Amino acid sequence: MNKFFIIGIIVIGVIVLAGATFYFSGNKSNSSATLGAETENKISHMTPTDFQKAINSGEYTLIDIRTEEEYASGHISGAAQIDFYQTQEFSAYLDSLDKSKEYLIYCRSGNRSGQALNIMQDKGFSDASDLAGGISAWIGAGLPIEK
């Protein structure tokens, strides 16, 4: 009986140790990958006020990713337009951009631009931000649009 008890304790110890090693080694690699991505890339969401300051700095390329019809109904001055829903054209457009430059993107509500930020990050862009709440938040903050 003593012999089986000792063997059981050893087996349980090995299983616990193996499980802990697997768990913690997996978490370390995920943490360092996430940390590395945060330090290399500046991918963020900006308030309308901060977005306007970034536009005014002149350091960013401004991109409206809404449809042509949405763009024609009113857009932020100086914005280039590319339709996020035209997936092949949108992807090709992103591929044509210099990934080391700084970009500001926006849509109607922030949904498409949030997805676009993920795509841009996957494509290796180092500095891109979207307008939190989209042009709806921009207008709500009383900021100007042009038609």
pLDDT above 90: residue 37? no
Boundaries of every domain in the chain: 1-40, 42-140
Q: Name the residue with tokens 């949108």.
A: 90
Question: Which residue would you say has higher pLDDT here, 121 or 4?
Answer: 121
Question: Which residue would you say has higher pLDDT here, 10 or 13?
Answer: 10
Q: What is the mean pLDDT of the chain?
A: 82
What is the chain's alpha carbon radius of gyration, rounded to the nearest angstrom?
A: 24
Note the pLDDT of residue 42: 84
Catalytic residue among 54, 94, 107, 137: 107
Question: Which residue would you say has higher pLDDT here, 21 or 85?
Answer: 85
H-only helix segments in the chain = 2-40, 48-57, 68-72, 87-96, 111-122, 134-140
pLDDT in tens, 76-98: 999 999 999 999 999 999 999 99
Q: In terms of residues, how long is the chain?
A: 147
Q: How far apart are CA 105 and CA 117, in angstroms?
A: 8
Indicate yes or no: pTM above 0.85. no
Note the pLDDT of residue 36: 38
- Taking domain 42-140, whether its CATH number is 1.10.630.10 is answered by no
Query: Tokens representing 110?
Result: 């922030």
% of the chain exceeding 90 in pLDDT = 71
Catalytic residue at 121?
no
Amino acid at 96: S
